[in-house]
Structure 1
Amino acid sequence: MAAPERRITTRELTDADAIHDYLVTMYGTAMRMTCTDERYRFHHRRTDAGPFALESVEQFNHLDFAVDPLRLLVIARVSTARMERCCGRVDGRYAADDLFLVADPDLPYTLRWLPGAITCCVMDPGLLARVASPAPGRRPEPIRFTGLDPCSPAAAAHWWNTRRYVAGLLDDRETAAVPLLVDSAAQLLAAATLATFPNTALVDPTIEDRHDASDTTLRRALAYIDDHAAEDVSLAGIAEAAHVSVRAVQLAFRRHLDTTPMAYLRRVRLDHAHRALIAADPEKTTVAAVAARWGFANHSRFTAIYRATYGVLPSATLRGSS
């Protein structure tokens, strides 16, 4: 499986028309932009990882935007700027450290951006269904956000910590080239976004979900995970293979194994990493390379989990001394 190509784009612009055209191209939607100052300075950096991108933007003017529907999720955190946004009937004013959804993906919005910097995460809304589908086959409606501000300060802090972790992963050329790590990062961001902002995704299992959380569902899910552990595995993919909803497969794992589907997937991948270390030539590979290949980006965390599971350090297994 090929990894999504990481693309880093950096622009420093000093012309209003150039700024406008660049943003239209970057976000793929029509917009109007006005500025109260004839002197312009706009800096934009984007790291594109396929279904999502991380951005940092800084500008030194008073900019006003009127933007057509983005069809994208844009989560912004203010660094040093001040911003005012109106989307539908929802207004918002934001200053340093505030986190917010820029707009409903299906609605136009206006934005006033006073001088300063922000960071953004741009996400394909379809990514949300990979971690929380609203009961496939029974509730086909797409997930919608019912609010543009975080549910709580704690939820906002969790989202930001997730974003920082993902940014660190993408900044490392080696880890950014590993498909399982990039896929896990995308799912982490999607799950954190659903946990942070109010939305219509179902939280509790329905009566049908409880009925479907059977031994048969579990066997199908286990077989799918075992057969596809080296591939891009999502909760929605596991549920589809088991012919049930995401909630049903989650409940089946809790009910029968007292774990989660993704925790079981990590155990399977850890076992593959263990076997790979046993078979590897220590002169030609490293523990970090094997760990990354099986989706473990944090070397110290992988070492701790490995030692807790197998009773030795992964380096000892690689050297053949386990």
Structure 2
Amino acid sequence: MRDLDAAHEVLSAAYAKLRLSSTGRRASLRLASRTLGAVRFDELDCRIGFEADCEPSDGYIFGQLACGRVVYSSDGEDRFVRGGDAFLAAPPGRPFTAVTGNLHASIVVFGQAVVDEVVDDVRFVGCRPVSARAAAVWRATSLHLRDGILPAFAGNSLVLANATRLLVATTLATFPHATVSRSKVWDRSDAHPRTLRRAIMFIESNAAMDITAADIARAARVSIRAIQLAFRRHLDTTPMAYLRSVRMSCAHTDLLAANGSVTEIAARWGYARPSVFAAHYRAAYGVPPSRTLWSG
């Protein structure tokens, strides 16, 4: 599109309500999007210089600038983003200003609810990566999920859910974050064996489904923090780690029954990469999955 008003509408709908100003009335803007569950991947190509005053966003807007420049201002700080830099525009709930020239950027957008499925009570608090290496890993992971996993496994909700959690975990390792609350007294008292039994029953009955820690907590009728404490206290593990072990056991059963190839069974139980499945299977059973399949 080449109209500034149209560019304003597209950017406001995609990221946050904003007031856009430019020296000219002609703009060249291209925005291509793909979705992975509750995560959106954007490729933004903007051939115009503008200043945008943005209202607080409901979600996190991460990105990597391929070329161009952006100056972000929020909380009294100016941050200069140049070609090759990874960034967080601003934490949710905080207004920010962006001044940019011509740019091309890869953007990843998701909300706090996606983060809560991976780790409880954590918020991103820094807008710059912790290191250049971490930023490079984040960039490579984002592109792999967007261009590799998403097209190849579009119909496999379990693989896509695991890919979403991998992206969030990589983002947590890349950008500064902090715990914002501590467990409550009632969370500790709710972390009893009955809670654990309800959670285990739910997990074992729904292992083939895309379930989260929030789903497990809801089924056990306690908070996410309480269910995490219950698994840690009684099994020295986490709800999601226990879910992964159940899925691996189901994959083992499928291998013994020759219920598909190794690749098919791996994908059925949430593994996009057979090599990762093979490594996890060997760690659990001491042999590669192909040996179990052949011996079965």
| Bucket of the pairwise TM-score, normalised by the shorter protein | 0.7 to 0.9
- Tell me how far apart the structure 1 counterparts of residues 140 and 17 of structure 2 sit (CA, whole Å): 32
Match status 1:303 vs 2:278: yes
Q: CA deviation at 1:102?
A: 1.4
Q: Which moved more, 1:191-200 or 1:51-60?
A: 191-200
Mapping 1:216-227, distance limit 5 Å: 216-227=194-205
Matched residue, 1:61: 48
- Tell me how far apart the structure 1 counterparts of residues 49 and 231 of structure 2 sit (CA, whole Å): 52
- Tell me how far apart the structure 1 counterparts of residues 252 and 205 of structure 2 sit (CA, whole Å): 17
Matched residue, 2:127: 149
SS at match of 1:79: strand
Q: Do the aligned residues in 2 keep the contact of 1:77 with 1:120 (CA within 8 Å)?
A: yes
Q: Which moved more, 1:15-24 or 1:73-82?
A: 15-24
Q: Which moved more, 1:52-61 or 1:17-26?
A: 17-26
Q: Which moved more, 1:213-222 or 1:150-159?
A: 150-159
Select the residue among 87, 93, 96 that pairs with 1:109. 96
How many pairs are equivalent? 294
Q: Do the aligned residues in 2 keep the contact of 1:180 with 1:230 (CA within 8 Å)?
A: yes
Amino acid at match of 2:66: S
Q: Per-residue CA shift, 1:22-55, capped at 9, x if unaligned?
A: 323434x543323345664333221112311011
Matched residue, 1:44: 31
CA pair 44-311 structure 1, distance change in 2 beyond 3 A: same
- Tell me how far apart the structure 1 counterparts of residues 129 and 238 of structure 2 sit (CA, whole Å): 24
Q: TM-score normalized by structure 1? A: 0.77
Identity, % of aligned positions: 36
Q: CA deviation at 1:169?
A: 4.5
Matched residue, 2:72: 85
Matched residue, 2:257: 279
Q: CA deviation at 1:191?
A: 4.4
Q: CA deviation at 1:150?
A: 4.2
Select the residue among 172, 179, 192 that pairs with 1:214. 192
CA pair 310-210 structure 1, distance change in 2 beyond 3 A: same
Select the residue among 159, 170, 177 that pairs with 1:181. 159
Q: CA deviation at 1:311?
A: 4.1
CA pair 85-150 structure 1, distance change in 2 beyond 3 A: closer
Matched residue, 1:137: none
CA pair 21-210 structure 1, distance change in 2 beyond 3 A: closer
Q: Do the aligned residues in 1 keep the contact of 2:37 with 2:161 (CA within 8 Å)?
A: no
Q: CA deviation at 1:251?
A: 3.4
- Tell me how far apart the structure 2 counterparts of residues 44 and 308 of structure 1 sit (CA, whole Å): 43
Q: Do the aligned residues in 2 keep the contact of 1:102 with 1:148 (CA within 8 Å)?
A: no
Q: Per-residue CA shift, 1:173-230, capped at 9, x if unaligned?
A: 332321012222233334454563434533x655554444433333232222111111
- Tell me how far apart the structure 2 counterparts of residues 297 and 103 of structure 1 sit (CA, whole Å): 32
CA pair 114-291 structure 1, distance change in 2 beyond 3 A: same
CA pair 207-159 structure 1, distance change in 2 beyond 3 A: farther
RMSD: 3.0
Q: Which runs of 5+ in 2 are unaligned?
A: none
Q: TM-score normalized by structure 2? A: 0.82
